[in-house]
């Protein structure tokens, strides 16, 4: 698991570059930052997913890729919501500088996403198939 986490850190860096890069391109092209951020988040999550299944995790509990990606995305969305709440708490209530708060939240996000995704999608709890038995 330790080597998976180290690889996940690298994958997270690449996903961040994709997310940040698309956000920069879209906002510089004139798109409002909120839809641009959503599109960039989706790209970053997709990049993270593709690299995670190829390089980070050796076992996959779900054999339907669409369902697997949906759960992968769901973990990211839940973590994003908690992270935004933490940012608000740290900045608004505890008067922490935004950039310091972002560092704290980023560490939380990295660990939470790895733990959630590994436990839900890449651990041998029993293989789950969403393939219909009626063929």
- DSSP for the chain reads -HHHHHHHHHHHHHHHHHHHHHHHHHHHTT--HHHHHHHHHHHHHHHHHHHIIIII-S--SB--HHHHHHHHHHHHHHHHHHHHHHHHIIIIIT---HHHHHHHHHHHHHHHHHHHHHHHHSS-S--B----S--
Find the mean pLDDT for residues 79-86.
91
Report whether 109 contacts 79 (CB < 8 A). yes
Give residue 128's pLDDT. 55
Q: Is the pLDDT of residue 135 over 70?
A: no
Q: How far is CA 3 from the centre of its chain?
A: 18
Token duo for residue 2:
């330790």
129 pLDDT band (50/70/90 cuts)? Answer: low
Find the mean pLDDT for residues 73-83.
93
d(CA 86, CA 94): 10
Give residue 126's pLDDT. 57
Q: Is the pLDDT of residue 96 over 60?
A: yes
Find the mean pLDDT for residues 98-115.
90
d(CA 70, CA 4): 21
């Amino acid at each position: 698991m330790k080597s998976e986490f180290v690889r996940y850190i690298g994958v997270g860096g690449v996903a961040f570059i994709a997310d940040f890069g698309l956000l920069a391109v879209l906002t510089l092209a004139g798109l409002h930052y909120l839809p641009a951020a959503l599109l960039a988040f989706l790209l970053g999550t997709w990049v993270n997913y593709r690299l995670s299944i190829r390089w980070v995790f050796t076992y996959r509990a779900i054999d339907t890729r669409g369902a697997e990606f949906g759960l992968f995305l769901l973990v990211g969305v839940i973590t994003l919501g908690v992270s935004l709440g933490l940012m608000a708490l740290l900045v608004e209530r505890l008067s922490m500088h935004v950039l310091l708060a972002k560092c704290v939240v980023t560490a939380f996000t990295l660990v939470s996403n790895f733990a959630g995704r590994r436990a839900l999608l890449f651990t041998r709890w029993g293989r789950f198939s969403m393939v219909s038995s009626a063929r």
